[in-house]
Structure 1
């Protein structure tokens, strides 16, 4: 028996388009001798449809897609999709063969943590599903079901000789290794070989990294699809076990994160049908990395960079920006903001009379830049990519309606120290970021001789505190006990708390940790908990 795992990139809500992709994959699988095609979780609708799942018309469209797939002869299809039965909705997989529906499995375990809200929409299933193909008993599980003992055990007890798992497992750092470990536990417990198929592509803040694979009865990885790329992974089941197949090498951690950012930008721009991307280039490291990602995602012809210097912008910032533009070949403009700033200040002079200069004047410069970028976006239709990183989002070291103005925040979940590491990794592939951009002390350049570290702890300290508090859920006291200075910890935690209102208004951005500032961060704006 030959199983084809259909690792592909659906578009949420495009049921006709996703149906056609599955049909094309099925024909390709049949041409290579496959008996079964297994799609990822909710492949027919894309993951996650969110509140589309509450619309009755959505299920009528799904039914039409299943009807079209049911007409295909010559191969068994295991199709992931939502289904509504009476007043209940299920995360389902339907088995189709030659015009017949052999059975339907309903996901037993519904995740309701991190970015997952499945308890909002679905009722849990209660029974295993096993079907016969070429004399082999094939069991079906869906994603979260393999992260616990019972569903796999019940499926094995029902007679499964091989288990296929349909998944929509979003990327975060080191996720593929974790998936391997989890399935290895299930194989050890059941003695049944398992095949795991995952989505690819970006969906709002989520990135699906593919990496479909199979484990034999000994728990060994005997087949591995590429990360991030669409692929039809073929598995042969011989004498009750999955035979060795190609094992594609996986990217290292930095490459994987960088590619996740690229996929996130590519699909947010492409699936939403923007003609390209626009960003402000400052001569600093964050905008440099954002520009590199945008070009790798979209191509230089679809990217427009704008340098908007003021009297506080260093000459080397302009020089380095021009250098990077020359290396990448994107459209580039320079717009001097100081005349606009002076006009604003003249208009505000009566209201500011007798008041000292402070961050108001700094923020005004950032907001002028944001206004210019949004105007260019309106004229061109290109989406503004913001350039702020997770360290800045944590501490509020960003300007609402200024550098936060835009449609997609590329580095929203990337700590500043990781920004440096990713820039150095990208230059090993091709030297596109000038070295001086990487080695210069970071500065917003909104006042004379300004440096980020004038206002914030060193980024190595800030990022370590942020990781513990935001991603690790440690308390301030726990972090101090781990050896961090109490003043630094209290400052970061206080800044995190008072800037929640900013994060609520920030654009979405690709999630690369298990706790990003998005669906999996839901803190109240008004609260007194420290």
Structure 2
């Protein structure tokens, strides 16, 4: 029995377009003499479809498209079977009234062959808002060349049931254990599993456990592409019954592969990507797909000469190409000469576009207007925020005029403690590095400037003969340059200390006592907790943040604004 894996990049809600993509891949499978095509979870919709799933007209439209797809496949490719992910309607009066299902297209018709059992509700997942849980495991029989194969089918989270590996506790249901008695010949897992730090390793371990426990090969099919803040890495694979990989598809790229269940393959010689290189790949794909799927052909960046905007410029260049990146330098009287030079040098290395708009006169006009109209002199943080908002207004005007995607350049450390300005540097359609702490920004930039990144830079058509970020940018003390001789450490602890406390609070959910046990002082901890609380209203108005960690400050951060101190 020959399987064809189709690692697809769907557009959420584009039912017609996604169906055409499935039909195209089915044609490739037919050319490879496949018996069955496997596509990811909710492949007809794209994942996550969110409240589009509540639109009754789209659910009905889905069935019409599914009928037509079934007929088209039969007419062109005969009896080839195709597994497709859909939202299956339940005809009763209860809500939610959908299953997250897999249907099998065969001979011009389709039928449901699996429904998702475990519906995740952690991090970004909210599946119980839309779906009901199936109660029984799914097994189908396929007869190929007079031999019958029993296939166990799981959908994404149904595989993540080993507490010792995935760490979220034992589910009430355990599809892998339930499948043991079914005597299956092969386990399928059709997924839409987003990228996060260390996800590759966890996914491998959880899949290896299932294959070894059931003593059958496992085919894991994952979605690829970025949808809003989520990045899907693909990385589909096949494991033998001993839990070792015998086939590996590409990371962060659409890919296909075929495999016959009776084919004995050698173990994959895995070239383990470094965590830092995978982060770069993920962010590049995040920007590329967000721009493409939202209809933007170019990106705009406020370039300060600092490390954050430099990193975002490199990521955007890798994602869209140098000719489509437009940067604006907006110096004030506080901008250092070396920052102006650093910005120009970076632009030259990346071969991207740069314009300079001085904000000194605009700032003077603001100050004069306040004095003349209100007898009010802007000072301190008010003065600093006005500068940032002038820059934000200029960037939004240019983005509107030229239909650029404005990329926000703030990092996670700044977003966490509110070291950012609403309607200023927080402006933008996408926050590129908003889930990277400042210390990780430095790490990623130093990797980009090292020999270890050469192959990546070649692949993304970035200069390999020079350090792409540059020592001047990497080594300068962080500063917003909104006041005389200003440094970030004037207002914040050193990032090496701040980021450890932030990670403890945000990702690890540690309380005061546990943080003190880590060696931090009570005064430090309470100060940072207070800053996080005070900045909540800002984060609610931030652009979407590309998610990299188990806990970003984006759609999976659900903290009230109005809470007691």
TM-score bin (small chain): over 0.9
In the TM superposition, 1:118-517 aligns within 5 A as 118-133=127-142, 134=144, 135-148=148-161, 150-238=174-262, 243-244=265-266, 249-350=271-372, 353=375, 357-428=379-450, 429=454, 430=464, 431-517=467-553
The alignment partner of 1:238 has SS state of coil
Structure 1: segments with no counterpart, 5+ residues? none
Note the 1:48-127 alignment, pairs <5 A. 48-71=48-71, 72=73, 73-87=78-92, 88-127=97-136
Alpha-carbon separation, structure 1, partners of 2:322 and 2:563? 45
SS where residue 259 of structure 1 aligns?
helix
Task: Count how many residue pairs are aligned between Structure 1 and Structure 2.
Answer: 527
Query: Which residue of the partner structure matches residue 171 of structure 2?
Result: none
Partner Cα distance (1:478, 1:83) in 2: 46
Q: CA deviation at 1:246?
A: 5.6
Contact 1:168–1:199 (CA under 8 A) maintained in structure 2: yes
For 2:258 and 2:509, locate their aligned partners in 1 and report how far apart those are by CA, in whole Å. 41
Distance 1:201 1:299, change over 3 A: same
Normalised by the length of structure 1, the TM-score is 0.96
Partners of 1:232 and 1:172 in 2: how far apart?
Answer: 23
Q: Deviations over 1:99-153 (max 9, x none)?
A: 2435431101100111000000101012222222322111211001011262123
Worse overlay, 337-346 or 83-92 = 83-92
Q: CA deviation at 1:154?
A: 2.5
Larger deviation, residues 3-12 vs 148-157: 148-157
Contact map agreement 1:140 1:155 (CA 8 A) in 2: no
Distance 1:38 1:245 in 2: 22
1:44 matched residue in structure 2: 44
SS of residue in 2 equivalent to 1:405: coil
- The change in CA–CA distance for 1:92 and 1:181 in structure 2 (over 3 A counts) is same
Q: Contact conserved, 2:105 with 2:111, CA < 8 A, in 1?
A: yes
Could you tell me how far apart the structure 2 residues matched to 1:122 and 1:248 are? 37
Deviation at 1:417, TM superposition (A): 0.5
Separation in 2 of the partners of 1:287 and 1:355?
31
Rounded to whole Å, the distance in 2 between the matches of 1:257 and 1:447 is 33
Could you say what secondary structure the match of 1:93 adopts? strand
Following the alignment from structure 1 to structure 2, what is the Cα–Cα distance between the partners of residues 37 and 425?
Answer: 39
Query: Which piece of structure 1 moves more, 505-514 or 27-36?
Result: 27-36
User: Could you tell which deviates more after superposition, 472-481 or 115-124?
Assistant: 472-481
Between the aligned partners of 2:179 and 2:14, the Cα distance in structure 1 is: 32
Equivalent residues of 2:67, 2:109 under 8 A apart: no
Mapped to 2, the partners of 1:352 and 1:358 lie a distance apart of 17
Cross-structure match for 1:27: 27
Shift of 1:520: 1.3
Q: Using a 3 Å threshold, how does the CA distance of structure 1 residues 20 and 247 change in structure 2: closer, same or farther? A: farther
Distance in 2 (CA, whole Å) between partners of 1:90 and 1:103 is 10
Structure 2 unmatched runs, 5+: 163-173, 455-463
Distance 1:355 1:373, change over 3 A: closer
Deviation at 1:198, TM superposition (A): 0.5
Offset at residue 341 of structure 1 (A): 0.2
1:507 counterpart SS class: coil
Q: CA deviation at 1:248?
A: 5.7
**Contact 2:86–2:102 (Cα < 8 Å) also in 1:** yes
Q: TM-score scaled to structure 2, two decimals?
A: 0.91
Q: CA contact under 8 A between 1:235 and 1:245: conserved in structure 2? A: no
